[in-house]
């Protein structure tokens, strides 16, 4: 058996290549949209990818099932509860798929979504103990999939949590302790609330350490898994629907068109979003008026999906040579409307100083001065609820970055505003988004809440 985990750090997303050397057949489970790594694996091992299995309709990324099917002729398969616009095979509960010696057993494990499945892997057809299980978003390392993402579709989180309890105890926890656990996500994903940095485990380790499978009643379980969830990015509903549909395929080799500064400004004035992917420090030093800063060093695509509208035309400003990567990472969440990129940004911005502005960033001392001197200061904390539970700067309004778009109207764009996050990366995103929305005096806090908290601790110690 050839078994590979392909892990994508920027989305905390895991996909899997499983091949049988005796037959030369392989399957890919939960592929990302840019499929070159799986094609490379198939070529390396001299295998054909015969099937793409999706454990569920993903909400946090646009899957590569259509791209893989087009490139290899592979069939696309889901659990039998899934309905798709494209041709797909329905996998029944208990069904066995043979790759040769390697066997895959399908188990229906609804709860995160109604159609969720897990894939139990047997290295040999007559093995009693499975090699492992691909749990999708049903069971994570240290957590379980959130059951609240479909509340807008008429399915309550309590109903799904009840199904999730049964799936965990009747299907996954019934596997032997030695069975390896391979989930679809790790720490940082918004598909759960307490995911481990580990990307694999065993059923036995999860039985001992995972709070969600500890002995408890179904009622207590429902309370435990529905409380304290983060606010998911707004694009989740868009991706969940797009993963069911026929859609254009990604050409991951194509680079966006190079545009002059005049062409970029022309597009911007017609409503195109200018997305500046440089580091916040570079962005603050000079950027095109009205552009949004989302640095590629962080969870770039996820943050973009939280503050940009799906389908909105986008022009990229990137460091030299990063334009194709910036385009492809947006495509991983289905944001395909990249018009082009600004050619030679340093020279282009220098040639049009009247179109360039700087960002206002304040340090902790500057924030303290603003708090004491500005009566109508608007202080905005854009961290997630789990982060703000540990404390906020007094007087701050809490709006998670993933909910900023929908709650901008609740803020007063005429007031002096300072926005902060944990360390100063997300706050640059929020401040640039607010500036685009017409906030005339907006700054972000260098070092974020961490810097403010450190300053308070130092002041207390000195006193």
Catalytic residues: 421
Q: Are 142 and 196 in contact (CB under 8 A)?
A: yes
**DSSP assignment of 337-389:** -EEEEESSHHHHHHH-GGGEE--EEE-HHHHHHHHHH-TT-EEEE-S-HHHHT
HSE on the CB side for 266, CA within 13 Å? Answer: 7
If DSSP states are collapsed to H, E and C, what string results for 181-221? EEECECCCCCCCCCCCCCCCEEHHHHHHHCHHHCCCCHHHH
Sheet holding 117-122, edge to edge: 96-98, 103-108, 117-122, 132-136, 180-183, 201-202
Which of 409, 402, 453 shows the shortest CA–CA distance to 430? 402
Which residues, at least 6 apart from 158, have a Cβ–Cβ distance to it below 8 Å? Answer: 147, 222, 226
Given CA atoms 96, 207, 7, 426 in this order, what sign does their dihedral have?
A: positive
* Residue 161, H or E segment: helix 157-167
Residue 438 CB-density burial (10 A; 0-12 exposed, 13-18 middle, 19+ buried)? exposed
Cα–Cα distances in angstroms (integers) from residue 462 to residues 127, 212, 308, 456, in the given order: 66, 43, 44, 10
Place of tokens 């570079």: 282
- If one counts every other C-beta atom within 10 angstroms of the C-beta of residue 84, the result is 17
For the chain, give the number of residues: 463
Distance, CA of 438 to CA of 289 (rounded, Å): 11
């Amino acid at each position: 058996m050839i078994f590979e985990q392909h892990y994508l750090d920027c989305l905390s997303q895991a996909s899997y290549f499983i091949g049988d050397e005796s037959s030369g057949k392989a399957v890919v489970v939960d592929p990302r949209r840019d499929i070159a790594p799986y094609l490379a694996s198939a070529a390396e091992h001299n295998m054909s990818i015969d099937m793409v299995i999706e454990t569920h309709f993903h909400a946090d990324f646009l899957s590569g099932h259509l791209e893989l099917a087009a490139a290899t002729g592979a069939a696309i398969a889901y659990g039998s509860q899934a309905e798709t616009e494209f041709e797909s095979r329905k996998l029944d509960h208990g069904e066995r798929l043979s790759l040769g010696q390697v066997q895959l057993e399908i188990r229906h494990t609804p709860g995160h979504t109604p159609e969720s499945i897990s894939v139990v892997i047997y290295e040999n057809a007559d093995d009693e103990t499975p090699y492992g299980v691909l749990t999708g978003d049903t069971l994570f390392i240290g957590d379980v999939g959130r059951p609240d993402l479909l509340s807008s579709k008429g399915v309550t989180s309590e109903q799904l949590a009840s199904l999730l309890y049964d799936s965990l105890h009747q299907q996954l926890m019934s596997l032997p302790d030695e069975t390896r656990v391979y989930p679809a996500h790790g720490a940082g994903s918004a598909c759960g609330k307490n995911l481990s940095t580990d990307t694999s485990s065993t059923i036995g380790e999860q039985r001992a350490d995972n709070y969600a499978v500890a002995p408890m009643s179904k009622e207590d379980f429902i309370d435990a898994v529905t409380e304290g969830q983060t606010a998911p990015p707004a694009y989740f509903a868009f991706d969940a629907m797009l993963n069911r549909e026929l859609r254009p395929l990604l050409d991951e080799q194509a680079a966006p068109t190079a545009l002059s500064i005049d062409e970029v400004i022309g597009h911007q004035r017609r409503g195109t979003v200018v997305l500046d992917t440089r580091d916040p420090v570079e962005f603050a030093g000079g950027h095109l008026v009205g552009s949004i800063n989302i640095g590629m060093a962080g969870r770039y695509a996820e943050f973009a999906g939280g503050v940009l509208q799906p389908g909105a035309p986008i022009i990229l400003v990137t460091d030299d040579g990063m334009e194709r990567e910036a385009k492809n990472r947006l495509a991983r969440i289905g944001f395909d409307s990249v018009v082009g990129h600004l050619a030679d940004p340093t020279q282009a911005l220098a040639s049009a100083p009247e179109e360039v502005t700087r960002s206002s960033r304040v340090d902790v001392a500057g924030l303290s001065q603003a708090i004491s001197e500005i009566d109508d200061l608007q202080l905005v904390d854009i961290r997630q609820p789990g982060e703000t539970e540990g404390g906020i700067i007094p007087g701050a309004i809490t709006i998670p970055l993933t909910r900023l778009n929908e709650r901008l109207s609740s803020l007063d764009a005429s007031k002096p505003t300072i926005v902060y996050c944990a360390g100063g990366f997300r706050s640059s995103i929020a401040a640039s988004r607010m500036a685009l929305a017409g906030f005339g005096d907006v700054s972000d806090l260098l070092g974020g809440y961490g810097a403010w908290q450190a300053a308070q601790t130092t002041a207390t110690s000195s006193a």
